Structure 1
Amino acid sequence: MIRAIVMDIEGTTGSIRFGRDVLFPYARRRMAAFVRQRGEDPAVADQLAATRELAGEPEADRERLVAILDEWIAADRRVTPLKALQGMIWEEGYRRGDLTGHVYPDAVEGMKAWHAAGIPLYIFSSGSARAQKLLFAHSEAGDLTPLLTDYFDTTTGPKKEAESYRRIAAHLGLAGHEILFLSDVVDELDAAAAADFHTTQLVREAGMITGDHPVAASFTAVRLPES
Structure 2
Amino acid sequence: MPSTERVAKVVLVDIEGTTTSIGFVHDILFPYAKNNVEKFLEDSWDSSVEIKEIVRQLQQVPQFAEYTLRVPPTDVDVQVITGFVRYLIDKDLKVTALKALQGLIWQQGYESGELMGHVFTDVPGAFAAWREAGLRIAVYSSGSVAAQKLIFKHSVVGDLLTHLSAHFDTHVGHKQETQSYANIAKTLGEDPRHILFLTDTPGEAAAARSAGLQTIVLQRPGNAPLTDDQKSRHELIADFSSLHTLQLPE
Pick closer, same or farther for the CA change 1:199–1:224 going to 2, 3 Å: farther
* Alpha-carbon distance in 2 for matches of 1:121, 1:204: 20
Q: Which has the higher contact order (CA 8 A, sep 6+)?
A: 2
* Alpha-carbon distance in 2 for matches of 1:53, 1:109: 42
Q: Which moved more, 1:210-219 or 1:94-103?
A: 210-219
Whether the 8 Å CA contact 1:160–1:188 is kept in 2: the answer is: yes
Of residues 205, 219, 225 in structure 1, which corresponds to 2:240?
219
Of residues 212, 217, 220 in structure 2, which corresponds to 1:204?
220
Whether the 8 Å CA contact 2:149–2:161 is kept in 1: the answer is: yes
**5+ residue gaps, structure 2:** 1-6
Who is 1:29 aligned against?
A: 35
**5+ residue gaps, structure 1:** none
* Secondary structure in structure 2 of the residue aligned to 1:205: coil
* Secondary structure in structure 1 of the residue aligned to 2:138: strand
Matched residue pairs, number?
227
Who is 2:4 aligned against?
A: none
Q: Compute the displacement of 1:62 (Å).
A: 2.9
Who is 2:99 aligned against?
A: 83
Q: Which moved more, 1:53-62 or 1:134-143?
A: 53-62
Who is 2:82 aligned against?
A: 66
Paired residues for 1:88-127 under 5 Å: 88-127=104-143
Paired residues for 1:11-50 under 5 Å: 11-40=17-46, 41-50=48-57
* Alpha-carbon distance in 1 for matches of 2:154, 2:210: 34
* Alpha-carbon distance in 2 for matches of 1:159, 1:215: 19
Q: Compute the displacement of 1:224 (Å).
A: 4.3
Who is 2:186 aligned against?
A: 170
* Alpha-carbon distance in 2 for matches of 1:88, 1:47: 11
* Secondary structure in structure 2 of the residue aligned to 1:201: strand
* Secondary structure in structure 1 of the residue aligned to 2:15: coil
Who is 2:3 aligned against?
A: none
* Alpha-carbon distance in 1 for matches of 2:55, 2:101: 9
Q: Which moved more, 1:31-40 or 1:167-176?
A: 31-40
TM-score scaled by length of structure 2 = 0.86
User: C-alpha offsets along residues 50-93 of structure 1, whole Å, 9 cap, x if unaligned?
Assistant: 11122357643332222221211111111011101100010000
Of residues 135, 138, 141 in structure 1, which corresponds to 2:154?
138
* Secondary structure in structure 1 of the residue aligned to 2:217: strand
* Alpha-carbon distance in 2 for matches of 1:43, 1:10: 26
TM-score scaled by length of structure 1 = 0.94
